């Protein structure tokens, strides 16, 4: 299934919907995190390298302060470089 999903991401150029909701995660100030943009990663919402060869790359996050964050799970947020949930999961087609 993972290989089929990866092939679909490559063929369509569209990320996979990892979840139909945002992920609530605790981020620590000054720590580097890599947010998954392809939707294939098994460590959502973070990159685990499954994006290799897909044309997608993770987005680096370095929080300015520690705290909870709502990171996009649908991968359809308006600004793909901004991993924060913008509510797109409630208004866009999430078939894929």
Compare residues 50 and 65 and give the one whose CB is closer to ligand FES: 50
Query: What residues form DSSP beta bridges with 26?
Result: 68
Compare residues 14 and 66 and give the one whose CB is closer to ligand FES: 14
Q: How far is the CB of 72 from ligand FES (least distance, A)?
A: 12
Provide DSSP, 28-70: -TT--EEE-SSS--SBTTB--STTTTSS---EEE--SS-EEEE
**Which residues of this protein are in contact with ligand FES, per CB under 6 A?**
36-38, 40-41, 47-51, 56, 58
CA-to-CA distance for 66 and 75, rounded, in angstroms? 23
Q: How far is the CB of 85 from ligand FES (least distance, A)?
A: 17
Q: How far is the CB of 23 from ligand FES (least distance, A)?
A: 13
């Amino acid at each position: 299934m993972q290989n089929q999903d990866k092939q679909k991401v490559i063929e369509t150029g569209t990320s996979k919907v990892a979840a139909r909701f945002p992920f609530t995660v605790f981020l620590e100030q000054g720590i580097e995190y890599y947010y998954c943009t392809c939707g294939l990663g098994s460590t959502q919402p973070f990159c685990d390298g499954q994006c290799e060869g897909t044309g997608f790359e993770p987005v680096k996050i370095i929080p300015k302060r520690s705290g909870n964050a709502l990171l996009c799970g649908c991968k359809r947020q308006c600004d793909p470089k901004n991993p924060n949930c913008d509510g797109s999961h409630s208004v866009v087609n999430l078939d894929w």
